[in-house]
Amino acid sequence: MSKQNIMFHPIISSIQRIALYETKARFYLIGSNNTQTRFRVLKIDRTDPKELILVDDKVEYNKQEIHQLLNMIGFGNRGNRSPGFNKLVSAFGIVGFIKFLEGYYIILVTKRRKIAVIGSHSIYKIEDTATIYIPSDNTKPQHPDEQRYLKMFLAIDLSTNFYYSYSYDITHTLQMNMAPPRKLAPALFPKPITAAVYHSNLNSDNSEENKCICHDCDDDEDIFETWKQQLQQRLKKTGEPIPKLEFGIRTVPEWRFVWNSHLLSAVHSYLHPDWILYIVHGFIEQSNLNIFGRPIYLTLIARRSNRYAGTRFLKRGANLHGDVANEVETEQIVHDSMISSFAAGRFSSFVQMRGSIPSYWSQDISKMVPKPAISIDLGDPYAEIPAKHFNNLMRRYGSPIMILNLVKKREKKKHESLLTDAISNAVKYLNQFLSPEHAIQYFHLDMARMNKGADAKVLDKLSAIARTVVRRTGIFLSSKGYDDETGVPGHQSGRLQTGIVRVNCVDCLDRTNTAQFAIGKCVLAHQLYALGLIGEPVIEFDSDCVRLLEGLYEDHGDTLALQYGGSQLVHRIKTYRKTAPWSSHGNDIMQTLSRYYSNTFSDAEKQNTMNLFLGLFVPDAGKPAIWEYPTDYYLHHPEAIVYIPNKRSLTKWWDDDVIRHLPLPCNEMRKLCCEIIGTQGDGALEMLDPYQEYNRPFEYTVFTECFEFKMFHTLRDLAPTFSESFSPFVVRGRNVGQNKGPASKNPVISGRSSTISNNSSEYMVNNYIQKTTRASWSEETMKKAIAEATKSSIKSAAQKYGIPYTTVQRHVKSNISKKHLGRFKPVFNEEQEKNLEKHLRDLDALFYGLSRNEFMELADTFAIPHDSETPPILSTIPPDELTLPAVTTPFILAHDASVNASERTVRRKLKELDFKACRPARKPKLTAAMKAKRLKWAKQWQDKDVDFWRSVCFSDESTFEILQNKAQYVRRRHGEKFHPDCVVPTVKYPTKVMIWSAISGKGTGRLYVVKGIMRQDQYKEVLENRLIPQLREWFPNGEPFTFMQDGAPCHTARSVKAFLAEKNIPLLDWPGNSPDMNPIENVWELMKREVAKDVITNKTQLLEKIIYVWNHHPQMQETVQSCIDSMPRRIKALIAAKGGSTKY
């Protein structure tokens, strides 16, 4: 019987688009597939303020049935003044549910981006999420700590390096996903292992009920072998060829890599599997290795473990269960994208991992030192913790387990070498009881010591170790290689990887990443050779192929370093190749400082956030809050609180089922699936058809916007424009090509951590670097720049020689004599200079607000023509020139009038004419043409009534800043000038936030925080993701409306106009420089007054205050209505002012 008579396909989730509808009593989640032919409904009760009550009827609806259901719900909830049934948000999936001290929140994926393709299966990166409070408005949170917990939870930025897929299980390796299922078992949810769980298990008689049996199925029946035997018996009876049987399976995930497991714990066993998304945290990136037109996709997937997860200095070593800190599984996949089928395609993968040394060790961070001392906290003479760790690795990967230890071995004062002793002694002890063919293999390389040598060949030594590793573990190959004769039983054909290489240094960051790259380079050569793409399993440095791989591993290392250490890599691959330029040393220093500041100031806050997100700490109103605990040690080490009996033998430290299947991994040979379906029926075919999902024939797609087109490409992005050979395996110069590797759009690689902290280490370091470092240029270059500035201009010199404008200006002023710098010639003698100085003082007393240049011009005008020893005295104006125009000129002070009159006389004249000292009104400057346009516009719209203006959507941007108190006067007594209440604080560079929003007669719209300067691309994003959903809510069922925007460049761009025309959004003509006609300006002023009332110290507080005022201020809705209703009066005032400034 052919091994391919039975085929297994992953089930594609039928819920890929979600709409959340809201009534007072319930939330309705309507989930559908991409073609909107299959629907499911999830109802969430909102009346219970504490509990999560879900109703999933498990029924699949068609389009007509779902429309009838929605109409029925809308009709039943319709009120007298409100529809009662609103669409709240559109989403792509449910991340989970979370509860703190009050009701539950639901977290939805609102924005996604395709990041990789494995065969026909797409992998997405979360770009944005929405966290929505479920209980209705009349049961809002009352506990004082609720908002603080919510803020802490939201500090986990789900838009940075969180991934999911609707069809491909990214929690498992490619080898595991392509293996046939062996067991059928429910996907039982594992609880976080805390002291509370142990305590309840020990005190209960049925503690086995709480145990996760995902990998503890005692049934020895292998469904794959059973079906194979049944097919053989059928073949013997009938003698006819057996048709190929195809099944859809849904595998049980590897819970170790599911980061939203706690968020799913309340609903996982109740919801239909299509509602569930398993979110992985780590790194995923894909590039196109183009080999003479053949697209070979190179993918790097890093899965970060959620066990014993945390930040650098707070999570070291391992816990009681052998889970190590900073454990990351890295998989390198190569496949020919011309054949996407798993059955017929050619796929290859290799898995390696990193993780802290499995022992009880830590570093004391109470002292402010860059490298705290390492200490072994608890002796482990029988290597119990390493035994549990390696037993788990053999269960997941098989044997041999190969350790590559990069920690120092010889030191004058023991520091890192303590860890080397611990791991080497543990391996020696454990290998005593293992058979030689399955023994743990240990390699040591002191990279730091070797790299200091003059003739350092670190990469050569690593390459030799890599060749040994690949030879002993092998690689996974889905189809038979061109030099293979037999396949692997159980799999369709091909080879398997058995065992894994485990790489570590102290932090498992810099040295580890370089070693993993060296292994990945060796593996890539064997993968390409096995696929028949190269003649020998060797690829050279400085070829496009290796530069592509190096770029992937650099991004991979930067991302993982930011997640664990708080900064990017310090020592990179180029550092150990000795090809790093001297300019990179400054960047190394900056990353070291960033890592130090992050570890010192923000790690504790990040750790608390992670403990809350992963469910290691569950808030309880009757217990202290998480920020009140001095340490989280007891959350990760429950054995310190509750006695946990150790039933494992000190000599037989492995599990029986693990040793039985070696060298193959036990998990793969007992692969669990929680659902199996046949291929009968159109619905089943759609659930198993990856081509429909990948090619999307049901929607219009622009080729240049496809992920495959935008993917990093060796031929386009690395190869030189002109070359004799375009092979990616040709060795080129180090600086040839446009980029060094994949130009990742990952925000984490540019320096943003997945856990946001108010104590930003990046800000501290950047501020420090900005203050302490100065760029330097050679003296010769500066001389050339000065000469260029003298001939032409400072600006052209700065651009030509790449020197900042201010630097050139400073050197020019210090090198050129004053006679060439002054605007006016030095025509005065010494005595005339003194008279000129007196003349300038007179000018300062007479003229209000003159600049220095204006003073110089006036002095030149008065002094040079007279050419006398004493310039004319300005106070000798005849008394009869005391005219009313001179007195009543605006902006002039009482003592500033250029008349021969006393100050008292001027004051009296001003009072008689009813002039008061007032601050001038600030209005935009209006030319005659602008006034004419404003007047024409007002006459055009003067006949429109209030109802029309209520259907207009007014939009605008406004900037808010910290310390924006604009008070001009304070009431104080003598001697209180510098009292804190009488001082307006100022800062040189205030924190500013630009906000976009819209208003209409139906209320306030959605806020959008502008990133930097609003440009047309960002504005189109605002229109699509904020404006259009808001317009659908405000004006449903085709209600007429008009959209208003001012004449800012980003608003009037051609691409924006085309977008608005495409979406059929009617625009209101708007005259330039007319903020007084836009009612949203009054709303901005109300918000700024409210924001200025509070003491705000950082951007987060500023945003919180803006959001609160916009959504919850009692006068907000009333102000919006009154401002919009004033539009007819505004237009009349504009006509009366003949297009000039109005009072609004």
What does the alpha-carbon distance between residue 402 and residue 1069 come to, in Å, rounded to a whole number? Answer: 71
In a domain, 564, yes or no: no
Q: What is the pLDDT of residue 240?
A: 61
Q: What is the pLDDT of residue 330?
A: 97
In a domain, 911, yes or no: no
Q: What is the pLDDT of residue 834?
A: 60
Tell me if 764 sits within 8 A of 576, measured CB to CB: no
Report the 3 state secondary structure along 189-237. CCCCCCHHHHHHHHHCCCHHHHCCCCCCCCCCCCHHHHHHHHHHHHHHH
90: CB partners within 8 A, 6+ apart: 17, 18, 19, 20, 110, 1029
Tell me if 14 sits within 8 A of 40, measured CB to CB: yes
Query: Number of folded domains in the chain?
Result: 3
Q: Check whether residue 679 and residue 815 sit in a common domain.
A: no
Q: What is the pLDDT of residue 481?
A: 53
CATH number at residue 1107: 3.30.420.10
Tell me if 607 sits within 8 A of 314, measured CB to CB: yes
Q: What is the pLDDT of residue 593?
A: 47
DSSP-derived secondary structure for 90-124: EESEEEEEEESSSSEEEEEEEEEEEEEEETTEEEE
Once rounded to an integer, what is the mean pLDDT over residues 457-484? 85
> How far from chain centre, in Å, is Cα 945?
46
Q: What is the pLDDT of residue 215?
A: 43
Which parts of 730-804 fold into alpha helices (H)?
Answer: 761-772, 779-791, 794-801
In a domain, 1002, yes or no: yes
Q: Which residue has the tokens 């492995």?
A: 654
Nearest one of 712, 742, 723 to 290, comparing CA atoms:
712
| Statement: the pTM of the whole predicted model exceeds 0.75 | no
Q: What is the pLDDT of residue 529?
A: 93
Report the 3 state secondary structure along 505-563. CCCCCHHHHHHHHHHHHHHHHHHHHHCCCCCCCCCCCCEHHHHHHHHHHHHHHHHHHHH
In a domain, 110, yes or no: yes
In a domain, 159, yes or no: yes
CA gyration radius for the chain? Answer: 36
Nearest one of 1009, 1025, 1000 to 957, comparing CA atoms:
1009
Tell me if 43 sits within 8 A of 18, measured CB to CB: no
In a domain, 603, yes or no: no
Pull the structure tokens for residue 923.
């209005």
Pull the structure tokens for residue 1020.
């189109």
Is the pLDDT at 810 greater than 60? The verdict is yes
Is the pLDDT at 266 greater than 50? The verdict is yes
Tell me if 331 sits within 8 A of 351, measured CB to CB: yes
Once rounded to an integer, what is the mean pLDDT over residues 271-278? 93
Q: What is the pLDDT of residue 298?
A: 96
Tell me if 177 sits within 8 A of 169, measured CB to CB: yes
Q: Check whether residue 689 and residue 783 sit in a common domain.
A: no
What does the alpha-carbon distance between residue 308 and residue 904 come to, in Å, rounded to a whole number? Answer: 81
What does the alpha-carbon distance between residue 438 and residue 392 come to, in Å, rounded to a whole number? Answer: 14
Amino acid at 501: V
Q: What is the pLDDT of residue 686?
A: 73
Report residue 758's pLDDT band, with 50, 70 and 90 as the boundaries.
very low
Supply the range of the domain harboring residue 263: 1-278+672-695
Residue pLDDT, tens place only, 348-403: 999 999 999 999 999 887 766 667 889 998 989 999 999 999 999 999 999 999 99
Q: Check whether residue 679 and residue 799 sit in a common domain.
A: no
Residue 450 exposed, middle or buried by CB count within 10 Å (0-12, 13-18, 19+): middle
Which parts of 802-829 fold into alpha helices (H)?
Answer: 805-815, 818-821
Is the pLDDT at 787 greater than 60? The verdict is yes
Largest CA distance in the chain: 131
How are beta strands 183-184 and 245-251 bridged, if at all?
Answer: unpaired
Categorise residue 998: left if φ over 0, alpha if ψ from -120 to 50, beta otherwise. Answer: beta
In a domain, 630, yes or no: no
809: CB partners within 8 A, 6+ apart: 794
Q: Check whether residue 802 and residue 677 sit in a common domain.
A: no
Once rounded to an integer, what is the mean pLDDT over residues 184-197? 58
Residue pLDDT, tens place only, 393-447: 999 999 999 999 999 888 888 888 999 999 999 999 999 999 999 999 999 998 8
Sign, Cα dihedral of 1069, 1073, 1075, 1077: negative
Tell me if 384 sits within 8 A of 646, measured CB to CB: yes
Report residue 835's pLDDT band, with 50, 70 and 90 as the boundaries.
low
Q: Check whether residue 795 and residue 939 sit in a common domain.
A: no
What does the alpha-carbon distance between residue 246 and residue 264 come to, in Å, rounded to a whole number? Answer: 31
Q: What is the pLDDT of residue 332?
A: 97
Report residue 538's pLDDT band, with 50, 70 and 90 as the boundaries.
very high
Q: Check whether residue 808 and residue 689 sit in a common domain.
A: no
Least confident of 22-26, 134-138, 611-615, 892-896: 892-896
Domain boundary among 821, 851, 879: 821
Q: Check whether residue 689 and residue 791 sit in a common domain.
A: no
Q: What is the pLDDT of residue 566?
A: 79
Domain boundary among 695, 728, 759: 695
Report residue 1106's pLDDT band, with 50, 70 and 90 as the boundaries.
confident
Is the pLDDT at 824 greater than 60? The verdict is no
Residue pLDDT, tens place only, 984-1041: 766 666 778 899 999 999 899 888 888 888 888 899 989 988 898 899 889 888 889 9
Q: What is the pLDDT of residue 617?
A: 92
* Cα three-residue angle 916-918-921, rounded to 5 degrees: 135
Q: Check whether residue 684 and residue 806 sit in a common domain.
A: no
Domain boundary among 821, 841, 874: 821
Q: Check whether residue 690 and residue 788 sit in a common domain.
A: no
* Cα three-residue angle 781-786-788, rounded to 5 degrees: 95
Least confident of 484-488, 973-977, 1023-1027: 484-488
Dihedral angle at the C-alpha atoms of 1056, 1059, 1065, 1070, nearest 10 degrees?
A: 10
Q: Check whether residue 796 and residue 691 sit in a common domain.
A: no
Q: Could you list the beta-strand ranges (E) of 305-393.
A: 328-336, 347-354, 361-363, 374-376
Residue pLDDT, tens place only, 494-514: 589 999 999 999 989 889 999
Higher pLDDT among residues 833 and 607, named by residue: 607
In a domain, 1091, yes or no: yes
DSSP H/E element including 777: none
What does the alpha-carbon distance between residue 114 and residue 531 come to, in Å, rounded to a whole number? Answer: 26
Report residue 75's pLDDT band, with 50, 70 and 90 as the boundaries.
confident
Residue pLDDT, tens place only, 845-872: 544 444 545 545 554 454 444 443 433 4
Pull the structure tokens for residue 333.
């996949």
Q: Check whether residue 803 and residue 682 sit in a common domain.
A: no
Amino acid at 322: G
Nearest one of 545, 258, 519, 549 to 406, comparing CA atoms:
519
Average pLDDT, the chain: 79
